[in-house]
Copies of this chain bind each other. A is one copy, B any other.
Amino acid sequence: MAGDTEVGAGRFPTMERRLTPRGQQRRDEIVAFATVRFAENGFHPTSVAEIVGGLGVGKGVFYWYFASKDELLAEILRTALRSLRTAQAEAVAGELDPLRRIELAIRAALRWSEQHRHLVTLIQFASTDDRFAPLVSLGEAVAVRDATAQVAEAVSSGRVRDADPEFVAHAVLGVTTHIAREFIHKRGRPADDVADATVAFVLDGLLAGAISPVG
């Protein structure tokens, strides 16, 4: 994963402040609390007053740690995408087979989604807002780039049908994110079960393994 630069570096510059352990803890509290509220209530409808009120602190505290409400969301997104990326990187570490890497990445994404449903909701919202969408795109781009490379390799070795690797990578991303929301979040299915079905769909589509051949 060479060239993996920090995303969204230009916009929403992180507030650089020397923090004591107590300060760092406060900051984390704010992030955690805001993440839940943003996800459950929506970003715009959740006010700064609500956040600091919920934490029982003064308004100034918020602006001591974050330059703005936007910047807080940007930070949440950056952290979330980095976490997802890390989870996937760890899952595929050591695996050389491209198809297995894709499978492991899907499983990792679904497991991550199961554990971070609020972040998934926030990422989805962010991708609909012009100010935050680039952050999400950049975050996704890393995963897509990796998946694209695996597919390309599998295609060239003949183990995957001839298809545009980038297109296929996005198709996999689309399946995975939608399935996570629909089956893991809405219906509470276990990530691992959902992953089996997702991997099957991604590898075989509708037809492969069907009893009677297509007309």
Measured CB to CB, the residues of A under 8 A from B are: 40-42, 44-45, 97, 99, 102, 121, 124-125, 127-130, 151, 154, 157-164, 167-168, 170-171, 173-179, 182-183, 197-198, 200-212, 214-215
Assembled-state Cα–Cα distance A179/B161 (Å): 19
Contact A214 B99 (CB under 8 A): yes
Contact B157 A212 (CB under 8 A): yes
Assembled-state Cα–Cα distance A214/B201 (Å): 15
Assembled-state Cα–Cα distance A102/B207 (Å): 13
List 5 tightest A-B contacts by C-beta distance, closest first: A174-B178, A205-B205, A158-B211, A44-B44, A125-B128
Contact A99 B206 (CB under 8 A): yes
Contact A208 B211 (CB under 8 A): no
Query: Nearest chain B CB to A186's CB is how many angstroms away?
Result: 8
Assembled-state Cα–Cα distance A202/B210 (Å): 14
Point out the residues of chain B lying under 8 angstroms from A163, CB to CB: 197, 200-201, 206
